[in-house]
Chain A
Amino acid sequence: ETGVTQTPRHLVMGMTNKKSLKCEQHLGHNAMYWYKQSAKKPLELMFVYNFKEQTENNSVPSRFSPECPNSSHLFLHLHTLQPEDSALYLCASSPEWVLASGTDTQYFGPGTRLTVL
């Protein structure tokens, strides 16, 4: 496979469930990102990992827990979510941390559509 893949593509969970989103990039990139895309808000950056180290946590509630075991894989662990957390969660990667140059290309996965009941 090429590019950035995300699983599952759709997820429905209750507020007491624990689930994980997975992202994998096959591009040899060093930086990976989690974004949240809600219907009525701009795309929001959640977390940034550069060379497996977290470099950005954009004031995300602790019910979202990221994990980056290596440069190719990124997880988002979910627990005790709220209905307002329902959104499209997008993973992206770039050769380096995009903010270093401002011109790096971010490659996005197709997203996981999350519904919290």
Chain B
Amino acid sequence: EVQLVESGGGSVRPGGSLRLSCAASGFTFSNYEMNWVRQAPGKGLEWVSYIGRSDKDIHYADSVKGRFIISRDNAKNSLYLQMNSLRVEDTALYYCARERLPCSGDCLDYWGQGTLVTVSS
């Protein structure tokens, strides 16, 4: 059974940092492209970042570019999101999601349950 389990969320002051993790199981993690998607309380979905099967192909939303860093460790079946210079507007539930194979576009076929990040003074 495919499982994605996020962790690392919490409360932080503006300007602070957090590192989110996503533990994957039930599939060959190294074969899949992965994404982070967030959802502010009561708001819609916002795509945050993408990483290819290795770390050679990486993309970020303009809203987090220069502040967030996505990475993966295929040996540990894990996806990460290093979040620096956090802002109040980064407050959201952060989901890790797998891209379906084959796929043209996002095709996010499995999602975790999310980890909540709250940025507040």
- A, B co-complexed: no
Query: B-side interface residues toward A, CB under 8 Å?
Result: none
